[in-house]
Structure 1
Amino acid sequence: MDRPKLVVIDLDGTVVGHSSAHTRPSAATITALKAVRAAGVPVAVATGRALWSTLRTMDDLQLTDGLHVVSHGAVVYDLAARATAHRILMDPAAAISAYRAADPEVTFAVEYGADGWVTTTDFPRDFESVWLHTLSLDELAAMPTSRLVARVPSQNPYGAGPRCPRAQAATDGARLDVSIYHAEVGFNGWVDVGPAHTTKASGLDLVAAHYGVTAAETIVFGDSANDLPMFAWAGHAVAMGQAAPSIKDAAHEVTSTVDDDGVARVLARWF
């Protein structure tokens, strides 16, 4: 493609390694994104992460402004204003009931605005995040939210690879109404349930319109199944070298791994 007019980066597996702990981007990645911005081309993050864990990595990347997509597209955030520019809410009650029927050991959490996670008492708080109060299942089900997490016990490893079979089975069994919900099955027992038709691509529609840029003029980088909608949306999609074959097959090109600065290597063509 010609020099892109918008550069979009996933976070985990793309500019930092997959980890339950806070990891930092390489100097090469930071320098590459600085060169993009110095050329007057905006950089946007598009991540499945919640806002509170996204902000610290954006700080590590030395991003200070722009619109960014978090929570799988349900939230668009204005970094300079430190304010939410767009948020889609849903009623989680029917999804909670469906997952409870599908797997008796499922536990739940919801995004509480931009503040942190609210969970049921049995939800494992076994990784670094922002944990708020606990609620009964009925109380949790009554909270409008941008994201519901349904979590099942799993030994499936976290990182690029197959989706967790038990989480996939629970999602298949839940038979969510796709006119209401969109489910993203993760690696290790974690399923993100968001509003229907809400993906990284739907969030990026708003970001691109803000900059007066088209999808065809945009380059996106990612490594996981939740990146596939934005791969289909963008003019040029780049899969990371460690991504699963199905992700690579959906991309226009494959770069080197996140540990080998795959993003920086591609951006060096233009910036």
Structure 2
Amino acid sequence: MTPKLVVVDLDGTVVGYGNHRLAPSPTVVKALADVRAAGVPVAVATGRAIWDALPTIAALDLADGLVSTTHGAITYDLDAGRIVGRTPLDTVEAVRRFTEAEPKVAFAVERDEAGWYHTSNFNRDFESKWAEVVDRETLSAEPAVRLVARLSWVPYRHMAAPCPEADRLAATVGLDPALYQVEPGYNGWIDVGPAGVTKATGLAVIAEHYGVTAADTIVFGDAANDLPMFAWAGHSVALGQAHDVIKAAADEVAPSVTDDGVAHVLRRWFG
């Protein structure tokens, strides 16, 4: 059955990994153009902040429709050029608990489109939009769509599985899952978002906008934060370089991101 909605993650799915902006391949850009030419919408679901996602979305030649960023906490309308949905969280308790568990932990928060508000010890070792350096009390004084706790002494590296140091700290802190969604990542990075908000909930909003069901949606991803949308969608595709746990959760495994796995699968129906 031909999909009625195509959804792609960004990092490790349509672009490679790295601490600098990477361009999608012309092959992937054309594959997504072929999908749209067939009248099927293409959406993005990414863990990136909106300001980090938009340049790559533009490089994919996507200029209209809805996209989901910040692990589902932000819905952005490309036509209107503005945020149309957001789910914030209170960060006070999370900052306190992380600080008690590891006093040297660094923090950053995402507040809509303003950029990262961050503590002075937060490593700015990747290209992004930086707002202000603030103390911990100021950082947590207002609700945010995401809190990042980071072990700044952990060097930048790409691993197939979450950073073990971040994994241990998240487990030690033990934030209440009724209040927080916690996702340990790479490089000592721990994402904290509102409970129950995932890429799947973000996609549900987009699918409703297009009048498409989950059963008619195909999703592509490579990481743990893609698992909720794998479970939600009618057909899920893991990129070939993904960890075995991610591939086991998918309906299909494509070639790797460097081998244009997204384009390889989409040619089955489009182009």
The residue type equivalent to 1:233 in the other structure is W
C-alpha displacement of 1:156? 6.6
Indicate the residue corresponding to 2:269 in structure 1: 270
| 1:90 equivalenced with 2:97 (yes/no) | no
Indicate the residue corresponding to 2:227 in structure 1: 228
Distance 1:5 1:68 in 2: 16
Is the 8 Å Cα contact of residues 223 and 243 (structure 1) preserved in structure 2? yes
RMSD across aligned C-alpha pairs, in angstroms?
0.9
Indicate the residue corresponding to 1:158 in structure 2: 158
The secondary structure found in structure 2 opposite 1:126 is coil
Q: TM-score by structure 1 length?
A: 0.98
Distance 2:58 2:260 in 1: 18
C-alpha displacement of 1:80? 0.9
Is the 8 Å Cα contact of residues 66 and 80 (structure 1) preserved in structure 2? yes
Change (3 A) 1:156 1:24: closer
The residue type equivalent to 2:46 in the other structure is T
Distance 2:45 2:34 in 1: 19
| 1:205 equivalenced with 2:204 (yes/no) | yes
| 1:247 equivalenced with 2:240 (yes/no) | no
C-alpha displacement of 1:179? 1.0
C-alpha displacement of 1:207? 0.4
Unpaired stretches in structure 1, ≥5 consecutive residues? none
The residue type equivalent to 2:266 in the other structure is L
1:51-90 alignment runs, 5 A limit: 51-90=50-89
The secondary structure found in structure 1 opposite 2:80 is coil
Distance 2:53 2:212 in 1: 24
Distance 2:66 2:219 in 1: 15
C-alpha displacement of 1:157? 2.1
Distance 2:250 2:108 in 1: 32
The residue type equivalent to 1:40 in the other structure is G
Deviations 1:158-193 (A, max 9, x none): 25x111111111100111011111011101100110
Indicate the residue corresponding to 2:128 in structure 1: 129
1:17-32 alignment runs, 5 A limit: 17-32=16-31
Deviations 1:24-75 (A, max 9, x none): 0000000000000011100000000000010000110010101111000000
Deviates more, 1:42-51 or 1:127-136: 127-136
Deviations 1:130-156 (A, max 9, x none): 111111111111121000000013247
Distance 2:235 2:133 in 1: 43
Taking every aligned residue pair, what percent have the same amino acid on both sides?
54
Distance 1:115 1:35 in 2: 34
C-alpha displacement of 1:112? 2.3
The residue type equivalent to 1:202 in the other structure is T
Is the 8 Å Cα contact of residues 156 and 164 (structure 1) preserved in structure 2? no
Unpaired stretches in structure 2, ≥5 consecutive residues? none
Deviations 1:183-231 (A, max 9, x none): 1110110011000000000000100000000001000000000000000
The secondary structure found in structure 1 opposite 2:178 is coil
